[in-house]
Amino acid sequence: MSDVLDQLLDLDRSQLEPSELEELNTVEMREWLESLDYVLASGGPERVKEIIAAIEAHAEMHGVALPFESDTSYVNTIAAADQPEYPGDLEIEKRIINMIRWNAMAMVVYGNKKSPGIGGHIATYASAANLYEVGFNHFFRGQKKGPDADLIYFQGHASPGFYARSYLEGRLTDEQMLNFRRELADGPGLSSYPHPWLMPDYWSFPTVSMGLGPITSIYQARFRRYLEDRGLYEKGSGKVWAFIGDGETDEPETLGAIRVASRAHLDNLIWVVNCNLQRLDGPVYGNGQIIQELEGIFRGSGWNVIKVAWGSAWDELLERDVDGAVVKRFEQLVDGESQRYAAFGGQELKERFFNTPELRELTKDYTDADFNRLNRGGHDPLKIYAAFEAAVKHTGQPTVILARTVKGYGLGAAGEAQNVAHQQKKLDENELKAFRDRFDLPVTDEQIQSNPYLRFDPDSAEAKYLLSRREELGGFQPFRHVTAEPLAAPDLELFEEFMEPSGDRAVSTTMLIVNMIRKLLRDPAWGKLIVPIIPDEARTFGMESLFRQVGIYSGVGQLYEPVDSANLLFYKESTDGQILEEGITEAGSMASFIAAGTAYANYGVNTIPFFIYYSMFGFQRIGDLIWAAADSRTKGFLVGATAGRTTLAGEGLQHQDGHSHVLAQPVPNLLAYDPSFAHELAIIVHEGMRRMYEEQEDIFYYLTVGNENYQQPGAPDHLTREELRDGVLNGLYLFKPSTAKGAKLRAQLFGSGSIMNCVLEAQRMLEADYGVAADVWSVTSYKALHRDALITERRNRLNPAEAPQQPYVYRALADAEGVFVAASDYMKIQADALARHLPKPMVALGTDGFGRSEAREELRDFFEVDAKHIVLATLHALAQEGQLDAAKVLEARDALGIEPSKADPYTD
Ligand SMILES: Cc1ncc(C[n+]2csc(CCOP(=O)(O)OP(=O)(O)O)c2C)c(N)n1
Ligand SMILES: [Mg+2]
């Protein structure tokens, strides 16, 4: 103990002068820290942990309520002394990164000069460049590494940087670079962001809708484990890397699923959050510290957290700072304030950060250049390398690296750390020259005016280094390469039972799809490849028997004896379980769907997902993930169960879906079906498997199935199998022609889903009570009919000299007599959208409006889709055609018991 401390300790602290108290505090703190240093040196970190734990317990025992802190001091997680040797050539890497920085900036600046308003981002990549370059030169493994290859979610707004690197690697041409964001130019162009749909040999993961990259990367890493554990893919050391913006962590999809990763011990997952402390409008958390906040969140969720906050230049300062003044200052520093130092440079840092006597003393020898060198960790390759290496080696947990960077790094006055940095796309000549000088680039003043892009001489040390690093790491990144072989659709025999009538047995389409999945799971070729995905609704859909049949996947197996173990259908979890029981997360389930439905591209494995969910919680809730699935060229079946606004009884407004088919319309490569019967479902599922896996088409399917039980009629006799198949797949076929041969009045009725039963009843009533012969058509897909009609219409418009063709729906109905009346459990706009393409008008009945808690019959009355409303609509249409007296319609309305003053379901 020091003498001063001894003396001061003898006094009553409350009697001390403030200066004496401060001295006591300082000396006391130093004593404690020195003791700790001694323990660390002699006993190592483990002993330090033991002592601190004992001190904490001791303090708590004496009534000191310690604050809960899930974050650690605001210093780098990896101490300077523990940093590994940097394996690369820093000088060469610097020249490479500088050239990439230039080209990435040039793509945007020159692109906007040529075509004002074309957009693009400079600041995002500028801040993240070092993170990526350490990855490209030392970590990211390419396709040739097989199961050791990495899957990388690149931050979407940084795409100019990846194109710029690919250009140096010789993968992209000058023309492509000049056509960044000009995909419709004469020559080949480059998409703004990562879109596998647009660049299928390059991008794998669409990340640009904030939050989708993060959540899908978690389920990707988990799915990789699933494939390995089930023996479908060789176990390797490949990682899933996701690069995320700090502003992006605002999205619930970013942080909402991080527990999934730690619970599953996904040490094959590495997130790098680029903490440039800014988002689009300004600071992410100006009044606080986003890095510290994120550290707390991730640590609390069981992740390994590595902070890369401060660059190497700070190490020496921290070393000298025995009183911890710098660390204390770090901890006070809010992000909005530190943004100023990045924006205004070393002088600002000197005056505003080193603003106490101790800090001034500590830096008294510092020159302006020294202050300017005090860099952020995310721009220091040594720090980044240490973090990446530790992340790759870490076992048992996912890792997140929180790297502190500067938004718009290198842009200087043109936007460095400015609130406007995100949208900066224009640099004037002086700013371009400043950028050139800062990064020491071989650009002449003349070149600045004209040819923007730089390349290394192929014989240069830089070009060779660049390519040899990638060669050693297994090839270029990003890449997308489909290696899966076509796989023949299952034998039609498998589906034969569904073509037969069910007899007295009433069966719902939900039960039918589950039966089909069960059968497919037993198929020798397909059985292993089916991936049933359920967000905690298996019992709702009668799928619990699958628990036992194929098991629920769990990376750790089952560590408990299930409560229902005596039951035949017990809740079985196992490492080779096949079902992905995701819990209550449609977003997570959709992320699994994407992983399973793109495994043909990412792993060369033809897994086929069936994601079964409450239809209301699909397009409406996770529409953006479905859009990303489409972009990703995902295959598989989305099955919206408990579908139909009036078919799902009792559940009411929030659950009754009468519009998911409308929301399915915008997704171009999605086929959407609303089948009524088993034979339709069987034909669609078989054809889907054939097209997606045998023909390798990049499409996916949406099927709605209901929970209403009814007898399945089997394939109709009046059609050949071929005719039936064509009709079902094209979206419409004559299901039940009228038998009332002599009737004068005619109608064509169109039914879908379970409303088909109302249509069939209306057919009977019209014939029996009103002398109208009605044919009944099954409309399996309004979307398919509409799509075909638009394609045909366009073809005719673009080829006016050729004989016009008719769309399928027109041809199918050309000779149909009488009025057209359609009814479905979905919005009227589905049928209305066909109006232009039909031989005559079609009256649409549907379920526009909010649902109600009621029984089916009442719901169908309320929404006016039941048999009596179909009858009334038919008679009204006949009257409008002049074939029936209006008085007859009025008579019928009253006879049917329809009140004209009844509530309007659309407005009430
Ligand atoms: C879902 C969604 N909302 C909004 C945007 C628009 N947007 C693009 S980038 C951006 C800011 C991104 O900030 P950050 O995540 O911190 O990334 P940085 O560019 O700073 O690395 C925003 C709001 C988007 N792409 N996706
Ligand atoms: Mg940011």
DSSP 376-396: BGGG-HHHHHHHHHHHHH--S
Widest pairwise Cα distance in the chain: 119
pLDDT at 551 over 60: yes
Pocket test for ligand 1, best of 279, 290, 335, 376 (most atoms within 8 A of CB): 279
18 CB-near residues (< 8 Å, 6+ apart): none
First to last CA, the chain: 82
Which atom in ligand 1 lies closest to the alpha carbon of residue 128? 21
pLDDT in tens, 199-224: 999 999 999 999 999 999 999 999 99
CA of 404 to the centre of ligand 2 (A): 10
Which atom in ligand 1 lies closest to the alpha carbon of residue 251? 1
CA distance 709 to 567: 26
Which atom in ligand 1 lies closest to the alpha carbon of residue 123? 19
Specify the pLDDT at position 3.
67
Which atom in ligand 1 lies closest to the alpha carbon of residue 279? 13
Which atom in ligand 1 lies closest to the alpha carbon of residue 422? 19
pLDDT in tens, 678-690: 999 999 999 999 9
Q: Give DSSP secondary structure letters for 438-497.
A: HTT----HHHHHS-------TTSHHHHHHHHHHHHTTS-SS-----PPP-PPPPGGGGGG
CA of 255 to the centre of ligand 1 (A): 15
Q: How confident is the model at residue 311 (pLDDT cuts 50, 70, 90)?
A: very high
Specify the pLDDT at position 12.
79
pLDDT at 11 over 80: no
CA distance 774 to 414: 72
Pocket test for ligand 1, best of 108, 153, 155, 157 (most atoms within 8 A of CB): 157
CA of 532 to the centre of ligand 2 (A): 37
- Note the Cα 361 to chain centre separation in Å: 51
Report residue 273: phi and psi, to 5°: -95, 115
Specify the pLDDT at position 18.
87
Which atom in ligand 1 lies closest to the alpha carbon of residue 248? 15
Q: Which of the ligands is closest to the CA of residue 243?
A: 1
Specify the pLDDT at position 556.
95
Report residue 53: phi and psi, to 5°: -60, -40
Q: How confident is the model at residue 70 (pLDDT cuts 50, 70, 90)?
A: confident
Pocket test for ligand 1, best of 212, 280, 290, 406 (most atoms within 8 A of CB): 280
Report residue 234: phi and psi, to 5°: -65, 135
Mean pLDDT calculated for residue range 755-781: 98
CA of 212 to the centre of ligand 1 (A): 12
Name residues contacting ligand 1 (CB within 6 A): 124, 127, 157, 208-210, 245-248, 274, 276, 278-280, 284, 407, 422
Pocket test for ligand 1, best of 193, 207, 208, 248 (most atoms within 8 A of CB): 248
Peptide bond into 84 cis (omega under 30): no
Which atom in ligand 1 lies closest to the alpha carbon of residue 208? 25
CA distance 12 to 2: 18
Specify the pLDDT at position 61.
86
> Closest residue (by CA) to atom 7 of ligand 1?
280
CA distance 278 to 285: 8
CA of 210 to the centre of ligand 1 (A): 6
> Closest residue (by CA) to atom 16 of ligand 1?
247
Mean pLDDT calculated for residue range 28-39: 91
> Closest residue (by CA) to atom 3 of ligand 1?
210
Q: How confident is the model at residue 664 (pLDDT cuts 50, 70, 90)?
A: very high
CA of 275 to the centre of ligand 2 (A): 6
CA distance 743 to 757: 22
323 CB-near residues (< 8 Å, 6+ apart): 26, 29, 30, 358
pLDDT at 127 over 60: yes
Where do runs of H (alpha helix) occur along 649-735? Answer: 660-664, 678-689, 721-730
Mean pLDDT calculated for residue range 273-289: 97
pLDDT in tens, 148-199: 999 999 999 999 999 999 999 999 999 999 999 999 999 899 999 999 999 9
Q: Which of the ligands is closest to the CA of residue 244?
A: 1
Which atom in ligand 1 lies closest to the alpha carbon of residue 624? 1
The mean of the pLDDT values for the chain is 96
Specify the pLDDT at position 15.
82
Residue ranges with strand state E in 395-441: 399-404
CA of 124 to the centre of ligand 1 (A): 9
Specify the pLDDT at position 20.
85
**Total H helices, total E strands in the chain:** 35, 20
Specify the pLDDT at position 10.
73
> Closest residue (by CA) to atom 23 of ligand 1?
280
CA of 279 to the centre of ligand 2 (A): 4
pLDDT at 451 over 90: no
Residue ranges with strand state E in 486-627: 506-507, 530-534, 552-553, 573-574, 580-581, 608-614
pLDDT in tens, 336-395: 999 999 999 999 999 999 999 999 999 999 999 999 999 999 999 999 999 999 999 999
pLDDT in tens, 812-853: 999 999 999 999 999 999 999 999 999 999 999 999 999 999
Mean pLDDT calculated for residue range 550-559: 96
pLDDT at 1 over 60: no
Q: Which of the ligands is closest to the CA of residue 275?
A: 2
Specify the pLDDT at position 69.
83
CA of 422 to the centre of ligand 1 (A): 9
Residue type at position 60: E
Specify the pLDDT at position 57.
85
Specify the pLDDT at position 4.
64
pLDDT in tens, 224-260: 999 999 999 999 999 999 999 999 999 999 999 999 9
Mean pLDDT calculated for residue range 595-611: 98
CA of 617 to the centre of ligand 1 (A): 25
What percentage of the chain carries pLDDT values higher than 70? 99
pLDDT in tens, 74-85: 999 999 999 999
pLDDT in tens, 688-705: 999 999 999 999 999 999
CA of 245 to the centre of ligand 2 (A): 5
Q: Which of the ligands is closest to the CA of residue 124?
A: 1
CA distance 177 to 164: 8
CA distance 508 to 644: 13
Q: How confident is the model at residue 452 (pLDDT cuts 50, 70, 90)?
A: confident
Q: How confident is the model at residue 8 (pLDDT cuts 50, 70, 90)?
A: low
CA of 384 to the centre of ligand 2 (A): 18
